């Protein structure tokens, strides 16, 4: 039984030695084993793209199963805020509100005269007349007057009430 026990111990120690030697031989991990085997560790120039060996050892002591990355981490995109410049919306020019009030009319179809008041002024106009180089009376109907604002050539209407 003593011989059998000695063979078991030799087999166990031999297998343990083979397993300890195998990773360094097959997976080329001599740089990490070198510090423990008495060989001088290779000098590595530290650059920001390569991980530092001390960081690995600190992580290994904290985490039993650390995550390994075979590729370099991608740099995140930066976002810069730019102020939004709002372009002012230019409104198209429009004619001002009509300054006239309808006072009345007199005459028949052929010679119809319209009385308009603007402030203190009283105007007597016929179809086609121009008032102060600003408005022209285009059309006269029973319920409204059609005027044109001459600087912008925009038509406007003035209500005159019900038909006579």
Residue 126 confidence (pLDDT): 92
Residue 70: band (very low, low, confident or very high) from pLDDT cuts 50, 70, 90: confident
Rg (CA), the chain: 51
pTM beyond 0.95: the answer is no
Q: Report the side by side order of strands in the sheet with 101-106.
A: 101-106, 113-118, 121-125
Q: Mean of the pLDDT values across residues 127-145?
A: 92
Residue 123: band (very low, low, confident or very high) from pLDDT cuts 50, 70, 90: very high
pLDDT digits (tens, 9 = 90+) for 10-64: 999 998 888 887 776 666 655 554 455 555 555 555 555 545 555 665 655 677 7
Annotate 51-68 with DSSP letters as a single string: PPHHHHHHHHHH-SS---
């Amino acid at each position: 039984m003593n011989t059998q026990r000695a063979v078991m111990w030799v087999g166990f120690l031999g297998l343990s030695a083979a397993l300890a030697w195998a990773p360094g031989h097959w997976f080329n991990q001599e740089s990490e084993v070198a510090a423990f085997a008495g060989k001088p560790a290779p000098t590595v120039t530290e650059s920001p793209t390569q991980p530092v060996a001390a960081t690995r050892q600190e992580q290994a002591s904290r985490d039993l199963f650390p995550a390994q990355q075979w590729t370099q981490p991608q740099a995140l995109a930066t976002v810069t805020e730019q102020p939004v410049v709002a372009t002012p919306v230019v409104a198209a020019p429009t004619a001002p509100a009509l300054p006239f009030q309808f006072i009345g009319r007199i005459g028949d179809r052929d010679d119809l005269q319209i009385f308009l008041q603007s402030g203190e002024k009283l105007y007597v106009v016929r179809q086609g007349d121009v008032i102060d180089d600003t408005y022209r009376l285009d059309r006269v109907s029973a319920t409204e007057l059609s005027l044109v604002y001459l600087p912008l050539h925009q038509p406007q209407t003035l209500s005159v009430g019900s038909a006579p």
